[in-house]
Amino acid sequence: MAEFTTGEAVALELPVARIPSRAAAFVLDLILQVVLGVFLLTLVMMVLRGDDSSPWFATLTLVSLVIVLIGYPVVWETVLRGATPGKLALGLRVVRADGGPVDFRHALTRGLTGAIVDFWILGLFGLIAVASSVCSPNARRVGDVLAGTVVVHIQQRLSLPALAIPPVWLTGWSAELDLMGLPEDLALAVRQYLTRINSLTPSAQHEIGQALVEAVCARLRVAVPRGYPPVQILGSVIAERQRRSLPVFPAPPAVFAPPPIARAH
């Protein structure tokens, strides 16, 4: 069981998927990939009318191989937000290291690394993936490490997230930020600070918050906004990050906002 603090400030405990269940899901997906490969190869032969000496044969065969080994997992994990048919059958899903849903970037990283390092080209038919999973406390293969993801058991649909609300006087500032420079581990530290701020002493709130503000602004390469307490600056950054990454929900079940603090003069 692993604990995640999601990008929406929700604490989750999800069981990490270990090698037996992941191997079973892999086998199911592999069967479907073989079927897909046979179909594509048959299609290529039909298009070329059985001429395997044509210069197009090698090209189309290579394209088919890329579709089967990389396109299959990338497309499914992007469309199903971290699942493939094999994972769905076993109740598994890929999530970010903070428990949030994955996107195309995570799926592409996992797919490329899986084909090149974990399983096929350099992976010795999965030996690398097994070795890295055994050595990782959360059973992460190389693709998971590079993508910042974890495979977990999810038997039920997660509830709608609670959304952060930024101070209105900082929305213009946060809307112009390039948040691609904010790493997942630093964003997780900020969210944990915001969710636990009421349990901290005033001095700890200021000291930890100020350190996080300076770290965040350094990674985003922007100046620290002056005259605002750390909780408002950090809350504005996280709210903007949520706004860009989350779908629009018709009615969020709850709202998370930092405790009201008067603007410093």
Task: State the pTM of this model.
Answer: 0.62
Query: So where are the chain's domains?
Result: 2-153, 163-256
pLDDT (0 to 100) of residue 180: 86
List of E strands, the chain = 2-5, 11-14, 92-96, 149-153, 163-164, 255-256
* Chain segment 129-162, per-residue pLDDT in tens: 999 999 998 899 999 999 999 999 886 444 444 5
Q: What is the mean pLDDT of residues 55-65?
A: 92
Residue 70's nearest CA partner among 29, 130, 25, 127 is: 29
**Both tokens of residue 146?**
């590079």
How far, in Å, are 45, 79, 134, 235 from residue 76 at the CA level?
Answer: 26, 5, 25, 33
CA atoms 203, 206, 208, 214: torsion sign: negative
* Chain segment 184-243, per-residue pLDDT in tens: 788 888 888 888 888 889 898 899 999 999 999 999 999 999 889 999 999 899 888 878
Strand 2-5 relative to strand 163-164, pairing: unpaired
In whole angstroms, give the CA distance from residue 178 to residue 216. 11
Structure-model confidence comparison of residues 2 and 218, the more confident one: 218
